[in-house]
A = this chain, B = another copy of it.
Amino acid sequence: MNDLAAEEEDPGLDTRRVTAILEAVEAADAPRLAALVQPLHPADVADLLEQVSAPERRELLALLPDLIDGDILSELDESLREELIETLPRAQLAEAMRELDSDDVVDILEDLDAPQQQEILESLDTADRAAVEKALSYPENSAGRLMQREVVMAPEHWTVGETTDFLRNAQHLPDQFYHVVLVDPRMRPTGYATLGRILSSPRETRLRDILEDSFRTIPVTTPEEDVAYAFNQYHLISCPVVDENERLVGVITIDDAMAVLDDEAEEDMLRLAGVGETVSIADGPFATIRTRLPWLVANLFTASLSAFVISRFESTIAAIVSLAAVMPIVASTGGIGGTQSLAVAVRALATRDLTSANAGRVVRRELLSGLVNGLGLALILGIGGWLVYGDWRLGLVLGMAMIVNQVVAAMGGVLVPLGLERLGLDPALASGTFVTTLTDVMGYLSFLGLATVLLL
């Protein structure tokens, strides 16, 4: 029966294990539950807690009251983390926080309410509390919040041997570090050496002779998305953070940058789809409704704009009722074309491939591709409309409206996000609603307008 528990050294969270865990919860079999859960990585325990239902989670935590530690808290989605922190005994919470590096404590604290923040801060050691409070004094989503304050550094004149001796005698080293940062007497970083180069160089080598070309620093107020961009663009593994006087105040490591990059991609994808905030799979129906209903209501009003446009042509529709059946084809295909152009532009803005240097050329490319796509679709739809309704003029109107709308769609898809970016807004934010409103309105307007002129 304990096969699964003992099976692997680094088990993942597969369906079999989740099922076995839920059976153990159901049977209130704490020893078996512990055997199944304890080999899991904290990230998998967090996923487990997010995936089970709220009652299952409560029973599981009642059976394993000591389960939640700092690492698991770090891995949890915000909403669930907040909920668990509410219910955790104060002593256990304080203990969990003390295990963590200062950047992880900051990451947890910044999402909490002021009273919860205060309570946790009070439970920390004086030194940790000062470090965390300092980090919280930097702007939200800035390098200062992301960095860890523990940096391994050395004076510029040190040799490999001196550095090694220093490291061997150091009391507290960060869990993970990849470089030794050289600082001048004013604590300004002047370069760094990888641990690999240090380890493989003779003791008498000077650090300054084995520095990396890739060295750069990040100002402490840099927005975290710029930090993630720099790590991804320049293949950084860790990067010193400096204050306004160029003095070393911390270091950011690639795992933090990777998490930001992943969050940014998720945010862009969800915002494009009209989901307001980051969501968690553990969210209940009401959290889900809160992130979606506002956008749906906004869309209700923008869709009413299309309805208004159509209502202006009621006499045309009354004369030729078939127009009502075919008109959504032009609007819908326009919506797809606009969404394509939009997704490419939003992504290119996020990766900084679309800049003012090439915006003009990208817009011309979109114009041309909208025109050609429109021509291709117009040919198919025009001939189809002619064959189905036996009227070549209806085919002509469909085709012409399609060309107009595909061009509008392609242009809107790139100009709306470029405009939002220019205004300092997130291009992913409202673009979808803008662009589909545009393609709907233009689709109905061009089709019904042309039909009124050419068919009546």
Say whether A381 contacts B300, CB under 8 Å: yes
Say whether A328 contacts B440, CB under 8 Å: yes
Say whether A329 contacts B317, CB under 8 Å: no
Residues of A234-258 at the interface with B, using a CB-CB cut-off of 8 Å, are 234-235, 237, 254-255, 258
Task: Tell me how far the C-beta of A74 lies from the nearest C-beta in chain B, rounded to whole angstroms.
Answer: 10
Q: Is A216 an interface residue (CB 8 A)?
A: yes
Interface string of A207-244 (1 = CB under 8 A from B): 00000001110000000000000011111010000000
Q: Is A268 an interface residue (CB 8 A)?
A: yes
Say whether B333 contacts A284, CB under 8 Å: no
The main secondary structure of chain A at its interface with chain B is helix
Q: Is A285 an interface residue (CB 8 A)?
A: yes
Residues of B within 8 A of A284 (CB): 365
In the bound complex, what is the Cα–Cα distance between A339 and B255 (angstroms)? Answer: 31
In the bound complex, what is the Cα–Cα distance between A430 and B3 (angstroms)? Answer: 40
Q: Is A27 an interface residue (CB 8 A)?
A: no
Residues of B within 8 A of A255 (CB): 235, 237, 254
Task: Tell me how far the C-beta of A240 lies from the nearest C-beta in chain B, rounded to whole angstroms.
Answer: 13
In the bound complex, what is the Cα–Cα distance between A310 and B332 (angstroms)? Answer: 14
Q: Is A417 an interface residue (CB 8 A)?
A: no
Residues of A190-204 at the interface with B, using a CB-CB cut-off of 8 Å, are 194-196, 198-202
Say whether B362 contacts A269, CB under 8 Å: no
Chain A count of residues within 8 A CB distance of the other chain: 131
Stretch binding the partner chain, chosen from A60-68, A81-89, A290-298: A290-298
In the bound complex, what is the Cα–Cα distance between A335 and B331 (angstroms)? Answer: 13
Say whether B269 contacts A304, CB under 8 Å: no
Residues of B within 8 A of A340 (CB): 273-275, 292, 295-296
Residues of A276-321 at the interface with B, using a CB-CB cut-off of 8 Å, are 279-281, 283-286, 288-289, 292-293, 295-297, 299-300, 303-304, 306-308, 310-311, 314, 317-318, 321
Say whether B176 contacts A194, CB under 8 Å: yes
Residues of B within 8 A of A326 (CB): 307
Stretch binding the partner chain, chosen from A91-99, A105-113, A132-140, A353-361: A353-361
Say whether A337 contacts B440, CB under 8 Å: no
Say whether B292 contacts A311, CB under 8 Å: no
Residue of B nearest to A203 (CB): B168
| 10 A-B pairs (CB sep. < 8 Å) | A51-B355, A176-B237, A266-B347, A270-B344, A281-B354, A285-B372, A286-B369, A288-B344, A296-B340, A339-B432
Binding site for B on A (CB under 8 A): 9-10, 15, 18-19, 22, 41, 43-44, 47, 50-53, 152, 163-164, 167-168, 170, 173-174, 176-178, 194-196, 198-202, 214-216, 231-235, 237, 254-255, 258-259, 261-262, 265-266, 268-270, 272-275, 279-281, 283-286, 288-289, 292-293, 295-297, 299-300, 303-304, 306-308, 310-311, 314, 317-318, 321-322, 324-329, 331-333, 335-337, 339-340, 342-344, 347-348, 351-358, 361-362, 365-366, 368-369, 372-373, 376-377, 380-381, 384, 406, 432-433, 436, 440, 444
A198-B199, A265-B266, A317-B317 are known contacts; what are 18 more A-B pairs with Cβ within 8 Å?
Answer: A9-B216, A22-B357, A51-B357, A178-B196, A232-B259, A254-B254, A254-B255, A269-B343, A284-B365, A288-B369, A292-B337, A293-B376, A296-B333, A296-B373, A296-B406, A300-B329, A304-B384, A310-B328
